[in-house]
Amino acid sequence: MVGLLLRRRALSLGNCVRSLTGYEVARNLAFTAAGIGLLFGLYSGFHRLLAYLVTVELIGRLLVWKLTAMMMLTTFSMVSISGLLTSLTTLYFSCDLRFLMVAPLSIRAVFIDKSLESIFFASWMIGLVLLPFVTALAQVSGYGWGFYAAFVVTLAPFLALAASAGIAATLVILYLFPSSRTRDAVYVIATLSLTLVYGLVRFAEPERLIRPDALHVVADYLNFLQAPTAPYAPSWWLTEALRSYAAGKTAVFWWNCGLLYGCAAAVYALLVMLASRVYFIGYSGAQEGGLRRLEAPLGTLLETRAARWLGAGPDLAALFWRERKCFFRDVKHWSQILLILGLIFVYLYSVKRLPLDNQDIRSIISFLNVGVAGFVIAALGLRFTYPAISIEGLSWWVVRCAPVSLASVMRQKFLFSAIPMTMVALTLGIMTNRLLDADPFTSRLSLSSLLVMTWVIVAMGIGYGALFPMFNVENIHQIESSLGGFVYMASSLAYVGVSIMVLSWPMQMHFRERFGKAGAWDWRIAGLCAAAIIVINAAACILPWKMGLRKLENHEGPA
pLDDT tens digits for range 16-58: 888 877 777 887 787 788 778 888 888 888 888 888 877 766 6
**What pLDDT, on the 0 to 100 scale, is given for residue 108?**
87
pLDDT of residue 280 exceeding 80 = yes
Identify the CA nearest to 494 among candidates 460, 445, 528. 460
Q: Quick check: is 48 in a domain?
A: yes
**What pLDDT, on the 0 to 100 scale, is given for residue 106?**
85
C-alpha triplet 175, 181, 184: angle, nearest 5°:
105
**Distances 139 to 455, 460, 528 between C-alpha atoms, Å:** 45, 43, 50
**What pLDDT, on the 0 to 100 scale, is given for residue 536?**
92
Q: Quick check: is 301 in a domain?
A: no
**What pLDDT, on the 0 to 100 scale, is given for residue 222?**
47
Q: Quick check: is 450 in a domain?
A: yes
Same domain, 450 and 542: yes
The SS3 call for residue 516 is: coil
- pLDDT class for 302, splitting at 50, 70, 90? low
Q: Quick check: is 299 in a domain?
A: no
Residue at which a domain ends, from 286, 301, 322: 286
- CB-based contacts of 239, cutoff 8 Å, min separation 6: 65, 68, 69, 72, 229
pLDDT of residue 184 exceeding 50 = yes
Which helix (H) or strand (E) segment holds residue 61: the answer is helix 60-92
pLDDT of residue 166 exceeding 90 = no
- CB-based contacts of 346, cutoff 8 Å, min separation 6: 198, 199, 202
Same domain, 369 and 272: no
Same domain, 48 and 146: yes
Identify the CA nearest to 406 among candidates 466, 324, 317, 469. 466
Same domain, 439 and 545: yes
Report how far residue 132's alpha carbon sits from residue 5's, in angstroms, rounded to the nearest whole number.
Answer: 34
**What pLDDT, on the 0 to 100 scale, is given for residue 283?**
80
Q: Nearest 10 degrees: CA dihedral of 184, 189, 195, 197?
A: -150
The SS3 call for residue 520 is: coil
Residue at which a domain ends, from 253, 286, 319: 286
Rg (CA), the chain: 27
**What pLDDT, on the 0 to 100 scale, is given for residue 159?**
92
Same domain, 262 and 325: no
- pLDDT class for 294, splitting at 50, 70, 90? very low
Report how far residue 303's alpha carbon sits from residue 320's, in angstroms, rounded to the nearest whole number.
Answer: 7
Same domain, 227 and 325: no
Q: Quick check: is 238 in a domain?
A: yes
Same domain, 539 and 391: yes
Same domain, 252 and 143: yes
The residue range of the domain holding 440 is 310-554
Report how far residue 285's alpha carbon sits from residue 531's, in angstroms, rounded to the nearest whole number.
Answer: 61
Same domain, 325 and 192: no
**What pLDDT, on the 0 to 100 scale, is given for residue 452?**
93
Query: Do 303 and 321 touch, CB atoms closer than 8 A?
Result: yes
Q: Quick check: is 531 in a domain?
A: yes
- Report the 3 state secondary structure along 366-422: HHHHHHHHHHHHHHHHHHHHHHHCHHHHHHHHHHHHCCCCHHHHHHHHHHHHHHHHH
Please tell me what DSSP assigns to residue 468.
S
Mean of per-residue pLDDT scores for the chain: 79
Q: Quick check: is 292 in a domain?
A: no
**What pLDDT, on the 0 to 100 scale, is given for residue 214?**
47
- pLDDT class for 197, splitting at 50, 70, 90? low
Query: Do 484 and 386 touch, CB atoms closer than 8 A?
Result: yes
Q: For residue range 513-549, list pLDDT tens digits in order.
A: 877 777 777 888 888 989 999 999 999 999 999 998 8
**What pLDDT, on the 0 to 100 scale, is given for residue 228?**
53
Q: Nearest 10 degrees: CA dihedral of 47, 49, 52, 56?
A: -130
**What pLDDT, on the 0 to 100 scale, is given for residue 224?**
47
Query: Do 86 and 43 touch, CB atoms closer than 8 A?
Result: no
Identify the CA nearest to 95 among candidates 475, 470, 532, 414. 475
**What pLDDT, on the 0 to 100 scale, is given for residue 191?**
61
As a whole-number percent, the residues of the chain with pLDDT over 90 amount to 13
Q: Quick check: is 440 in a domain?
A: yes
Report how far residue 384's alpha carbon sits from residue 334's, in angstroms, rounded to the nearest whole number.
Answer: 10
- pLDDT class for 59, splitting at 50, 70, 90? low
pLDDT, mean of residues 192-208? 57
- pLDDT class for 433, splitting at 50, 70, 90? confident
Same domain, 263 and 392: no
Identify the CA nearest to 161 among candidates 264, 66, 63. 264
Q: Which of 65-74, 345-354, 490-499 has the lowest mean pLDDT?
A: 345-354
pLDDT of residue 230 exceeding 70 = no
**What pLDDT, on the 0 to 100 scale, is given for residue 227?**
52
Same domain, 230 and 152: yes
Q: Report the domain count for the chain.
A: 2
Residue at which a domain ends, from 250, 270, 286: 286
Q: For residue range 144-154, list pLDDT tens digits in order.
A: 888 999 999 99
Query: Do 67 and 201 touch, CB atoms closer than 8 A?
Result: no
**What pLDDT, on the 0 to 100 scale, is given for residue 232?**
72
Same domain, 399 and 514: yes
pLDDT of residue 193 exceeding 70 = no
